[in-house]
Structure 1
């Protein structure tokens, strides 16, 4: 059942729920989160930037996430999943190193040599297009948390109920428009949910 026409519409709806934010920094999780974050930053007249994350996949089936890493943070593992697979964090060290390299490549592609904006003492809104397992969002929130923001908010249009509940301890506030019982995938709640490219991300950032 489609609820949002596209990520931009979802972001515009989220922005109306974030109007109490005081001079926030909006950090988008690329790639899809950038299209959600742009209308939020515009509505709040906020600084917009990206916070790059990468999923850490199970080597035999890379689409199965066993953890994630965000720039400025350490890997965050799904320990229950690792135990189920009879693995340890050390078992995926090669995958972590590969994802660190790809993370660094994307940071250079999206931001060049420019660092993240200062976050200490600021309100920070981390935005993505949805929450399935929540692995990358968790890694992002923990990485931002080390910068000691005044308030840390996670803003997403849609998320699995159990995932949203599991992330509440990672942020001061979670703003989510929809937590459907029959959640199967983020894309099912959008009429248009095309995959974005690095060029799309740069275009969106340039339109701030």
Structure 2
């Protein structure tokens, strides 16, 4: 039976297998630049590829964290130079909703610059925290240090999970078809959302 999730997963795995560390880097840059490509998918798949012997866990972790840093710089600069008005006007085209932006701003306001460090291990917030950091014109050197240090444990944990799933990957693939319904519903909602916005 054809599975959408399995098909997409194989594309990601194939891309990373073909391009190696460069593929991990590019995917993580996009994810951290607020493009909807979750690290929760990228890094475990990279760990699986590492299990197959093409890369090392530590290498994948470092490259993933480096990609996270570069992508976060992009988001930081968008916030720094564009500010909130720019994000309110164009953010919807890359699925930066008002709710997500407010969540990141509240987190940044509550925890200050340390929010950049803490949020790197929190889903959703980790992706968007660079925007309010840029808007607040946080010191770039501190932003860089906090972002990289905070990204390392996140990347390592996800890579390690994928690596350990390696021997049981056939079991994971066997449940992919159950996730197809969620993907179909998600795509339908995304199309409706974009249609209403555009």
- Give the structure, 1 or 2, with the largest relative contact order (CA under 8 Å, sep 6 or more): 2
Task: Give the greater-gyration-radius structure (CA).
Answer: 2
- TM-score, normalization: structure 1? 0.29
Report which of the two has the higher share of helix. 2
